[in-house]
Amino acid sequence: MYCASHWKEFAEHGRTTSLVQFLPSAHVPEHTHPLGEEIFVLDGVFSDESGDYPAGTYLRNPLGSKHATFSKEGCSLFVKLDQFNPLDFKTVCIDTKQQQIQTGIGQLKVLSLHQYKTQGTALVFWPAGEKFQPHRHWGGEEIFVLEGEFKDEYGSYPKGSWLRSPHLSEHFPYVEEDTLIYVKTGHL
């Protein structure tokens, strides 16, 4: 986990996925995201010059975007850098706690956060006991477990787990308890 009590002396480069913690009153001076940035606010309130973003907010800052960031009381973020299609310039800001989740396959509930060509980002709620059909990931898949415990034939992944499955990988996922995941597909 990267802790933002002050700005790093060097910028992150390349495809990066990280957990970032802003301590109370932490700030990062204006900086540019040449290849884009996605943020999911895990707890607290994250802020920039455009507003305040409470826990559950999904932000997508496209290629070339810039901002100065801070958190008055501290926050934790799940951050993905440089993982956009270079033709996708859409800015997104969604307070997921204010959105209605849609019915998915089986008993799954899905909140789509962003879709562009083969790439998709969503929150997926798995009710206790749900099993999904074995499937293959075209373009790969990343999962961050927000609540509960996600499982497949390879292991169990409690809250805070991050999984990255390569292009054309397969698995047979299921849950035994209510589980919420953040998932991104088609970008690897």
Starting at the edge strand found earlier in the chain, the sheet holding 102-103 runs: 102-103, 109-116, 119-126, 179-185, 141-147, 162-165
Regarding the domain delimited by 2-94, which CATH topology (the fold level of the hierarchy) does it fall under? Jelly Rolls (2.60.120)
User: Mean of the pLDDT values across residues 84-109?
Assistant: 92
Quickly state the pLDDT bin for 31 (edges 50, 70, 90): confident
At 54 the pLDDT is 98
At 187 the pLDDT is 85
Regarding the domain delimited by 100-185, which CATH topology (the fold level of the hierarchy) does it fall under? Jelly Rolls (2.60.120)
User: Mean of the pLDDT values across residues 51-80?
Assistant: 95
In whole angstroms, give the CA distance from residue 140 to residue 163.
11
Judge if 2-94 and 100-185 fold alike in CATH terms. yes
Q: Is the pTM of this model over 0.85?
A: yes
Question: Can you give the residue ranges of every domain in the chain?
Answer: 2-94, 100-185
At 13 the pLDDT is 58
At 5 the pLDDT is 41
Quickly state the pLDDT bin for 84 (edges 50, 70, 90): confident
Quickly state the pLDDT bin for 12 (edges 50, 70, 90): low
Paired tokens of 122: 């969503």
Checking 154-163 for CB contacts under 8 A at 24+ apart, the result is 162/17
Q: Residue 181: what residue type?
A: I
Q: What is the pLDDT of residues 99-138, one digit of tens each?
A: 999 999 899 999 999 999 989 999 999 999 999 988 888 8
pLDDT at 22 over 80: yes
pLDDT at 4 over 50: no
At 133 the pLDDT is 85
More confident residue, 10 or 80: 80
Quickly state the pLDDT bin for 35 (edges 50, 70, 90): confident
Close Cβ partners of 58 (under 8 Å, ≥ 6 residues apart)? 38, 39, 40, 41, 92, 93, 94, 96, 113, 114, 121
Please tell me whether residue 97 adopts helix, strand or coil conformation.
helix
Question: Is 182 in contact with 110 (CB distance < 8 Å)?
Answer: no
